[in-house]
Amino acid sequence: MNPLDDLDPRYRTVLCDVWGVIHDGARLFDGVAGRFERWHREGRKVIILTNAPRPADRVERELEAMGLSPDHWDALTSSGQAGIEALTHPPRPVGFAGTRADFEDLEAHGVRFATAQQPHDEIALTGLDEYRYEVADYAGELEEWRMRDMLLHCLNPDRIVVHRGQRLVCAGALADAHAANGGRVRFYGKPEAPIFEHALALAGNPPREEAVMVGDGPMTDMLGACRMGLDAVFVRGGIQEGEDYEWGAEFGDWRPIMTVSEL
């Protein structure tokens, strides 16, 4: 029996992470659609919030392609969408670090990218590119960003995700390296408050005690919930699969209300 079957009925809003909880980047996990349907039958709202650096509409299309239709959730937001809003208000030319697909997504949503000749001191960071897989591979860029005092807009605060069983380095790890060099970084997404506040607004701003966060990221999903005064369910089958997590001082006395291996 899954402990989620006995989730307290007072949690009328479920905030749910994506990678490591709903899918592994390639396939929908077994039982996810059924769990979402059950939550709806129980009268709960399901709000998906993800640290994906992509616009919300692309995340929706990806979930649909995996077999999770919009009928299964009530609203969806992403750190990429939050970053797009910041990068386009006001519009100005910025640099880019990430994959070609992410570049095209941001450009299609109004982000203006600087040419080689255009001066700029900001970079939209969505992740590592298609050819480099470790932060150490960016030593040259990190030194250049430090010398130019670049502000990195990190559209994916995740440090690690599991994709098809493989652990991959994400934008958050590169942003950490820039910050360690004394560089300026602005994070969008979990554990920062704005994405949680936006997700709660999408749910109609329920009382905090009636909302619960479900995620597998200790320093994103869980820390964000802790800071926001939310209860949380820790999914150990994601990036912490097979590991016991030691909750650090940043969590104080806060702990997840339960730990599960899957939805």
CATH number at residue 37: 3.40.50.1000
What is the number of domains present in the chain?
2
Confidence at residue 241, expressed as pLDDT on a 0 to 100 scale: 53
Confidence at residue 243, expressed as pLDDT on a 0 to 100 scale: 58
Confidence at residue 1, expressed as pLDDT on a 0 to 100 scale: 82
Tell me, yes or no, whether 4 lies in a domain.
no
Helix and strand numbers (H, E) in the chain are 8, 12
pTM: 0.82
Contact 238, 218 (CB under 8 A): no
Q: Is residue 89 domain-shared with residue 177, that is, in the same domain?
A: yes
Q: Is residue 100 domain-shared with residue 176, that is, in the same domain?
A: yes
Helix (H/G/I), strand (E/B), else coil: 3 = helix
Q: Is residue 94 domain-shared with residue 65, that is, in the same domain?
A: no
Q: Is residue 127 domain-shared with residue 201, that is, in the same domain?
A: no
Domain membership of residue 181 as a residue range: 85-187
Q: Is residue 171 domain-shared with residue 210, that is, in the same domain?
A: no
DSSP 210: G
Average pLDDT, consecutive stretches of 10 residues, N- to C-terminus, the chain (263 residues):
94 96 91 97 97 91 94 95 92 97 96 93 96 96 97 92 78 96 95 91 96 94 97 80 77 96 93
